[in-house]
Amino acid sequence: MYRLRIRTLWPAAAAAALVACSEDPTASPPPFAVAPMPDLELELPALDALRPATEERRRGAASGDPPGPARITEDWEEELSRPIQQIFDPRTRTRIEGAYGYALGLHEYIGNIGRIATTVQASMGSQYLGAFTAESQDYTPFFFDFGRVKTAWAQARVSLAETCGLEVHGSSVHQAWWQMYQGRSAPMWGVATRTSQADETSQGGCADAATGTRKEGRSEPGGVICYYKITYELDTGIIVDAQLLSCVGSGDEQW
Binding site for other proteins (CB under 8 A): 26, 36-45, 47-48, 50, 122-125, 127-131, 210-234, 240, 245, 248, 250-251, 253-255
Separation in Å, CA 101 to CA 160, 224, 241, 242, 253 = 7, 15, 22, 18, 25
Closest to other proteins by CB, 17 or 209? 209
Amino acid, res. 225: I
Distances (CA, A) of 216 to 23, 95, 142, 220: 55, 33, 64, 10
Nearer to other proteins, 183 or 221 (CB): 221
Residue 18 beta carbon to other proteins: minimum distance, rounded to whole angstroms: 21
Give yes or no for a contact between 100 and 159, defined as CB atoms under 8 angstroms apart: yes
Residue 84 CA to residue 75 CA, distance in Å, equals 19
Where b means 16+ CB within 10 Å and e means fewer, 98-127 reads eebbbbbbbbbbbbbbbbbbbbbbbbbeee
Which is nearer to other proteins, 48 or 78 (by Cβ)? Answer: 48
How far does the chain reach from its first CA to its final CA, in angstroms? Answer: 66
Cβ distance to other proteins smaller for residue 148 or 215: 215
Nearer to other proteins, 153 or 228 (CB): 228
> Least separation, in Å, of the C-beta of 40 and other proteins?
5
Tell me the closest approach of the beta carbon of residue 193 to other proteins, in angstroms.
23
DSSP 98-147: TTEEEEEEEEEEESSEEEEEEEEEEEETTEEEEEEEEEEEEE--GGGTTT
- Pick 20 or 47: Cβ nearer other proteins: 47
Element containing residue 7 per DSSP (H, E): helix 2-21
Least distance between other proteins and beta carbon 77 (Å): 32
Smallest distance, Å, CB 203 to other proteins?
13
- The 3-state DSSP class for residue 2 equals helix
State residue 6 phi and psi, 5-degree precision: -60, -45
Minimum CB distance to other proteins, residue 85 (Å): 34
Tally Cβ neighbours within 10 Å of residue 224. 23
Rounded least distance, CB 124 to other proteins, Å: 5
